Each structure stands twice: as C-alpha cells, then as structure tokens.
C-alpha cells in the first residue's frame, strides 16, 4: 500500500511539473513579467520627462505618442501574424521592443528628449502589433476547450500588472530618488530585460495544434463556405477590416471597443483635474486605477475554470453596457468611495466580455485570418483611445472636465448601440 501511495504521489508531482512547464504556463509567465516591466517604463518616462522639463507639456505629449501609432500598428501586427504565424511574430516583436526600450533607457540617461519620444513611438507601435498576434497565439497553445481559460489567465495577469506595476515603479523611484535620472534609467532597462525574457520563453513554445486541428476538434469544417473566398494569408493589411465588417459579432465588438476605449481615455485624461477638484489632491487617481485593476482581476480569476467557449451578442451587449455606464456616472457622482466603487464595477464587467469575446473570435474565425480580424477589432479600440484623448485635450479647458467626459460618454454609447442595430444573430460555427 505504501509503495502504491508513493508511486501515486510521484505521478501527481510529475503531472504538476508538466502542467507548470506547459506552453500556456510559460506564455502566461512571460506575459506577466513583460506587463509589469511595461508599467515600469510608463511611470519612469513620465517622471523623467517631468524632471527634465518641469512642464506638463512633455508628459502630455508622451501620452499622445503612446496612443497615436497603435491603430496602424495593430493592423500590421494582425497581417504579419497571419502570414508568418503568431508565435514567430510575437517573438520578433518582443525582440524589437527590447532593443527599442534599451535605447530608450540610454536616451533618458543622455537627456535626449526628442529621441526619447521617437523611441516611445516605435515601442508603442510594436506593442500594438503584438496585441492581435498574442490573441491569435492562444488557440495554437491549448486545445479548444481550454481557450477561454487561457484567455482568463492572461486577463488575470494583465489586471494584476495594472495594480502591481505602478506601485512597484512608484516605490522604486521613491527609494532611489536621490540618484536622479539613474532610477528611471534602471526601470526602463529592467523593462527591456522583461521583453527579452518573454521572447526567450516564446522561443521554447511549440504549437499544440494547428488551426485545422483546432477546427476539427470542435467539429467544424476547415474549408470556407460556399461563395466565400479562400484564405489569403499574404493579403493586404486592410483585409482584416473587410473580414470584421462581414461578421456581426466582430462588428458589434469593434463598435463597443470604439465607444468604451474613447470614454476610458477621456476619463484618464481628466482624472487628475477631477481628483484635485473633488478630493483636494490628484494623488487619489491611484485608488481609481487600483479599483479598475482589482475589478479586472476578480472578473478574470472567476473565469479561470470556465467551461464557456465563447460569448453571444446579447451577453456582449449586457457586459459592455455594465462597463460603460459607471464611466459616465463618474461625472455625476462626487463621493470618493462611490467613484472608487464605480471604477471597480466597470473593471469587473470588462474582464468577462474581453476574455469570452476573444474566445468567441478564436472559436468562429479561421486560424489563418484570426490575426487580421483581431487587428481590425483593436484598430477600433485604439482609434477610440486616440479620439478620447484628443477630445479631452481640446475640450476640457472650454467645457470643463465633467461636461467633456459626458460628451465623450454619449458618443461612446451611440457607437455601442450602433453595434446592436446591425444583425445580431449568433455567428455560425463555420470558421470565417
């Protein structure tokens, strides 16, 4: 009996080690390290630009340049992902991000502000390109029934990084403040190393299934429907827009991303002014960000064992409304803890729809088109971010921050409802 028990324990330990060494576990680990590193750079660049210029203009320009290259970057990333494969694309992009971030650290040390801003544009374009490639990689790393769970794990580490990353960066900068620019340089250099770690882990990954195997496992044909053109992995970068517009669910998701991301970005832009006006200090924005991150983390963690493989249009509509409404209510509710609660509710609603919507696309879009379709969806999201940021910069001083936020929120709600006005039938299980 003892021998049998010992062997069983050894088998269980070996199985646990195999699970930890699985491609999905390595991918999640690399993503967690890279996300925390990305927040180190975000905080370090803002602090170093303020230190070098003593003006809000340079940090504000940095925020704009973080968003501006993303729309085109995400389209290019989806195209390259379909052509070369998502894992190879991700590895190449992260090597490029490591190089650009390393040069950014050197530029901070050299006090070369124009070069810092240029490298920021390059790194953000590469980061946007990695977004659709990362989503397209998920169904290659796990069997179909585990796609939503892996998306949930990635959502959980993204949310945790949102909470932990800024806190770690702030603590390190405070401790190393006597060193001047040495501290931001060190944080950005650490981010460059995090990209190298992720690229190294990606190099060790081997797909567990091809797109055809995934479709077959789900009982789906791999050929296009009658009258539908065959896949063209080498097609134009803009092909993802046409693919997205022909799919009701992807179209609804894209318009929801457009409206929600615009509202979120406008809120982020006016949040320091709102906090200073309402609560007497801009430092309160840290609690708002933490509440969003905690809500995201709870929502993503709740789906770690989900058996859902996707999301229907009705559920998508409900969850997107639950995320959008608290963002507008922030302009009307002035109690501190009520605002924190609204931010948490918005974050809690966003995690399930983002995770399950990504799983729905992986379930219904053919693997050789998934990168471009995801790229088109993220194009709408990043365009919303750009529009929200521009609206905040141009209107907040004239209308006030609350009126500006409500105006952007109303436009976002119109975009979201426009997605419902389209045919909302559930996607066929035949891959796009």
Average pLDDT of the residues in 222-230: 39
Q: How far apart are CA 428 and CA 127, in angstroms?
A: 32
Position 311 pLDDT exceeds 50: yes
Residue 290 token pair: 């933490």
Domains of the chain: 23-206 (1.20.1250.20), 238-432 (1.20.1250.20)
Buried/exposed 348-359: b ≥16 CB within 10 Å, e otherwise: bbbbbbbbbbbb
Asked if 185 and 109 count as a contact pair (C-beta separation under 8 A), the reply is yes
Q: Which of 87-96, 146-155, 175-184, 198-207 has the lowest mean pLDDT?
A: 175-184
Work out the burial of residue 298: count CB atoms within 10 Å of its CB; fewer than 13 is exposed, 13-18 middle, 19 or more buried: middle
Residue 74 token pair: 């995400």
Q: How far apart are CA 316 and CA 319, in angstroms?
A: 5
User: 0.85 exceeded by the pTM?
Assistant: no
The DSSP output letter for 145 is G
Span 4-24, pLDDT tens digits: 344 444 444 444 443 445 888
Asked if 384 and 260 count as a contact pair (C-beta separation under 8 A), the reply is yes
φ, ψ for residue 338, nearest 5 deg: -65, -40
What does the mean pLDDT of the chain come to?
A: 78
Span 317-375, pLDDT tens digits: 888 999 999 998 988 887 888 888 888 898 888 888 888 888 888 888 877 788 888 88
Which residue would you say has higher pLDDT here, 425 or 83? 83
> Is residue 305 helix, strand or coil?
coil
- pLDDT of 177 reads 64
Q: How far apart are CA 359 and CA 149, in angstroms?
A: 9
pLDDT > 70 fraction of the chain, expressed in percent and rounded: 79
pLDDT band at residue 218 using 50, 70 and 90 as cut-offs: very low
Position 47 pLDDT exceeds 60: yes
- pLDDT of 307 reads 73
């Amino acid at each position: 009996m003892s021998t049998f028990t010992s062997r069983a324990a050894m088998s269980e330990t070996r199985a646990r080690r195999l699970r930890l060494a699985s491609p999905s576990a390595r991918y999640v680990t690399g993503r967690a390290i890279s996300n925390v590193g990305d927040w180190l750079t975000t905080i370090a660049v803002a602090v170093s630009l303020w230190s070098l210029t003593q003006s809000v203009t340079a940090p504000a320009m940095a925020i704009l340049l973080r968003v501006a290259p993303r729309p085109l970057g995400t389209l290019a990333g989806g195209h390259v992902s379909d052509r070369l494969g998502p894992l190879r694309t991700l590895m190449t992009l992260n090597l490029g991000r490591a190089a650009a971030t390393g040069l950014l650290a050197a530029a901070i040390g050299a006090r070369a502000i124009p070069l810092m801003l240029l490298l920021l544009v390059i790194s953000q374009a590469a980061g946007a390109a990695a977004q659709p490639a990362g989503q397209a990689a998920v169904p290659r790393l796990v069997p179909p029934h585990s796609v939503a769970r892996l998306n949930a794990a990635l959502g959980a580490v993204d949310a945790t990084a949102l909470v932990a990353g800024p806190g770690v960066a702030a603590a390190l900068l405070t401790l190393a403040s006597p060193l001047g620019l040495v501290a931001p340089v060190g944080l950005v250099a650490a981010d460059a190393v995090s990209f190298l770690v992720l690229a190294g882990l990606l190099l060790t990954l081997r797909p567990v299934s091809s797109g055809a195997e995934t479709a077959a496992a789900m009982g789906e044909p791999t050929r296009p429907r009658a009258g539908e053109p065959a896949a063209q992995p080498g097609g134009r970068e803009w092909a993802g827009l046409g693919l997205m517009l022909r799919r009701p669910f992807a179209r609804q998701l894209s318009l929801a991303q457009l409206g929600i991301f615009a509202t979120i970005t406008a809120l982020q832009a006016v949040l320091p002014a709102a906090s200073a006006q309402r609560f007497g200090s801009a430092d309160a924005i840290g609690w708002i960000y933490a509440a969003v991150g905690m809500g995201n983390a709870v929502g993503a963690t709740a789906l770690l064992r989900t058996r859902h493989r996707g999301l229907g249009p009705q559920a998508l509509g409900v969850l997107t409304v639950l995320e959008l409404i608290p963002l507008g209510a922030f302009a009307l509710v002035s109690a501190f803890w009520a605002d924190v609660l609204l931010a948490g509710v918005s974050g809690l609603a966003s995690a399930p729809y983002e995770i399950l919507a990504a799983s729905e696309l992986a379930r219904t879009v053919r693997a050789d088109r998934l990168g471009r379709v995801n790229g088109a969806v993220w194009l709408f999201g990043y365009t919303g971010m750009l529009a929200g940021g521009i609206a905040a910069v141009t209107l907040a001083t004239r209308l006030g921050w609350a009126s500006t936020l409500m105006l952007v929120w109303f436009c976002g709600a119109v975009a979201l409802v426009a997605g419902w006005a389209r045919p909302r039938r559930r996607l066929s299980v035949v891959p796009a």
